Amino acid sequence: MIVETLIKLFKRDLNILITEIEAYKEEKNLWIATETVKNSSGNLCLHLVGNLNAFIGAPLGNTGYVRQRDLEFSLKNVPKSELIKQVKDTIIVVENTLNSLLENDLQKEYKRRVNEETMTTEYFLIHLTMHLSYHLGQINYHRRLLDK
């Protein structure tokens, strides 16, 4: 039951991410950063794609994804069409991976870092939905504020 809910939430918010990226009037505005707005929407999009592929696709779906987190924040001017393609590809990875999980997989330990407290896979997947939602709100605000 929780797997179906997680799939719905991830797909809903990743599709909203596509809508937000498509809504930019000027493609160059995806990459605006200011003194007070440090991360552009383009970089936040790359970060979300990297995050979900690194924490869902690679460990749970055995996709072989290798994260390059620094590039998520340093790359600039990636075409809007490429950002959208990466999000669509991520939707497929997340859906396929979550569909492959069994209920008992959700209760297994998930550990990201050596010195981090342990958590269940279910807990971490819920955390990832909240992380996605948090940055999605930032992207929406960035677009309305800086894409004039």
Dump pLDDT digits (tens) for 53-78: 999 999 999 999 999 999 999 999 99
DSSP symbol at 116: S
Q: Is 0.85 surpassed by the pTM of this model?
A: yes
CATH fold for the domain made of 2-146: Four Helix Bundle (Hemerythrin (Met), subunit A) (1.20.120)
- Count Cβ atoms within 10 A of the Cβ of residue 77 and give its class: 0-12 exposed, 13-18 middle, 19 or more buried: exposed
Q: Which residues pair with 120 in a beta bridge?
A: 109
User: Measured between alpha carbons, how far apart are the two ends of the chain, in Å?
Assistant: 42
Largest CA distance in the chain: 49
3-class DSSP state of 40: coil
No. of H helices and E strands in the chain?
6, 2
Q: What is the tens place of the pLDDT at every residue in 1-32?
A: 899 999 999 999 999 999 999 999 999 999 99
What ranges do the domains of the chain cover?
2-146
Q: Identify any residues that bridge with 91 across adjacent strands, giving them in sequence order.
A: none
